[in-house]
Structure 1
Amino acid sequence: MTDLSGKVALVTGAAGGIGAATAEVLAGYGAKVVIGDIQAEAAQATAERLGSNVSAVAYDASDVDSITSLVDAVVEQHGGLDILHNNAAITAAAWSRDTTLLDTEIDWYDRTMAVNLRSTFVLSKLAVPHMIRRGGGSIVNMASIAAFSGSPTLIAYGISKAGVAALTKYMAVQYGRNNVRTNCIAPGAVLTEQVLANVPGVEEGVLSTLPWIRGGVGKDMGNVVAFLSSKEGEYINGQVITVDGGSTAGVAAPKVELPAEHGVSA
């Protein structure tokens, strides 16, 4: 059984969506969780909703000094750090600005890299020494299936997430001998409130091709983060794990209706 009792976890971008769901899962398994987000009031409200094992710290993922203050606050509050989930990212809000090579503005590309990729690098750089001092730890980065194939839009997002996947492998190789494991989740479409609000018709579109019976939700990712950070997942290192309901396997075939001769008789 997954047990994270005594562990200190930092989840970024956790005022809502996948991050909040992951914080809830980790706290449910006994971890003390700090959620970091630029939305200070929303982060605090989420922490209060999730209970006494969860607290919030406001920070800006695009600012190195702010990231440093976040890690310092976690260590000061709890004495160390065992689990880091690098979840903060520019995602659904970018659909109107992050489009094609020719149409995406360079300043938006730079901001996407700062929030999605550089912040993962900086947070991990700051967290790893604390984990080594504690005897080890688990870092779970957040990529996307957008990292592994092209699409008509979201070029900056896809590039940033490909960088996160590469960073994961470098970190796993460089610090695995210190008992610091680094893995990465590559979600497919996750039907968070933000995605549903910003992408009209997304739920119907996902379900029309997904070879599974429902769309993804935040806790699907949180459960993987918890497993990767637990004793049960300790031999998994340097992996990019696709969590997408089978969307990258192919387009869904029609639902099979078994004829009577395939039934099971008593």
Structure 2
Amino acid sequence: MTRPRAQALKLAGLITEQGGEAVLFPLLEISPVADHGPLRSAITRIESYSLAIFISPNAAAFSLPHILARQAWPRGLRPVAIGQSTVMSLASYGLGDTLAPVARFDSEAVLELPELQRAAIAGRRILILRGNGGRELLADQLRERGAEVDCVSCYQRSAPSDAASLVALWRYGWLDALTISSSEGLRNLVDLLDESSRACLRSTPVFVPHQRIADLAKELDLQRVVLSGPGDAGIIAALCAYDWLQ
């Protein structure tokens, strides 16, 4: 399990229920940003936004306490979530009527929502709450559609310092598969490994919930890449259906 620890617990529980053993090895460590100035600035003008897009559950967890400590969520500001985990995170803070895709959970799917087409957003202000770095596709496309977009980093992602515990599992033959939920996490893993450990990675079944991650895995010469359905349900279904004797 390579998601940030807090996000991995539900899937870890599902794996345990099915008789597997879930080992947590987060490839992205999540922490608050050092400078909250941009977020504070956005909060002062939050009434001016029509939509607030939360890129992940972490975006909700690291922004909403600051926003709600200052004021109630504005009635005219509609939340938008990339995926259902983020929808649930927003609901835990009392936010409802959230826009979210239902089939795929990525920026491309959000951009397909009718409420984010040019006719609906031209001339409107949109706030994107996210981590440091990441793709600019969402912001760029919304600007092309005529929206005024502010991007605010409210948390930061960093790679672990070493992969010693993971390498030890490979060495003793105790690791049967990896689940990887982001391209950034996969790159972090490859960067942490020496050549002999990369050889172990190439021969280990790797379960990924998005075609973009699968494409990167194949570019990195991983030999046993399994593209699952989205979310925890998709990953656990793929794990249960996999032929472990192959």
Q: Fold match, TM over 0.5?
A: no
| TM-score where L is the length of structure 1 | 0.33
| TM-score where L is the length of structure 2 | 0.35
